[in-house]
Amino acid sequence: MFKKKVKVSSVDELKSFAEKLSPCLKGNELILLIGDLGSGKTTFTKFLISAIDLKAGEEVSSPTFSVMNIYETEKFTVYHVDLYRVKEFDMSDIIGKGIVIVEWPDEEMNKFEEVPTIILKFDIHDEDKRIIELDLIKADYVKQCI
């Protein structure tokens, strides 16, 4: 497992981080977003989807109430899931079929050993600064983009 910490000092730097990451994605990754309320999980998702497909990115909103939003981008399907209010959610139908981005994942979610998994832990340092800890599981190819 590969780990790295990335400092983003502003929303703009988060955007650059998402833009740098996106070309490495093959389209079947599981991306787990961990971090407190307001740490930047949805903001990151919007930037990442915008980097994949600008039009799709414009539509991104938080799936807190809908649980899952689906974006058909130019390259691949992106599933954006928010489990803040949900205890159980079966992802077996979607896993590996597109990029699956999960806010508030439960602890067992890195058990999908067959899919490349990217875990991003957002730590709030002050109003605009975040430290993002990144773990790559079966996704070493992403190293060149971070």
Ligand X SMILES: Nc1ncnc2c1ncn2[C@@H]1O[C@H](COP(=O)(O)OP(=O)(O)OP(=O)(O)O)[C@@H](O)[C@H]1O
Q: Which residues of the shown chain bind ligand X in the complex (CB under 6 A)? A: 8, 10-11, 14, 35, 37-43, 62, 103, 128-130
Torsion (CA) 26, 32, 38, 43 in degrees, nearest 10: 10
* Residue 117 contact, options ligand X, Mg ion, none, Cβ 5-8 Å cut-off depending on partner type: none
All residues at 6 or more sequence positions from 9 whose CB lies less than 8 Å from its CB, including other chains: 128, 129
Q: Which does 15 bind (CB under 5 to 8 A by kind): ligand X, Mg ion, none?
A: none
Radius of gyration of the chain (CA): 14
3-state secondary structure of 2: strand
98 binds, among ligand X, Mg ion, none (CB under 5 to 8 A by kind): none
- Among 42, 50, 69, 117, the residue binding Mg ion under the rule CB under 5 A is 42
Task: Give the residues lining the site for Mg ion (CB under 5 A).
Answer: 41-42, 62, 103
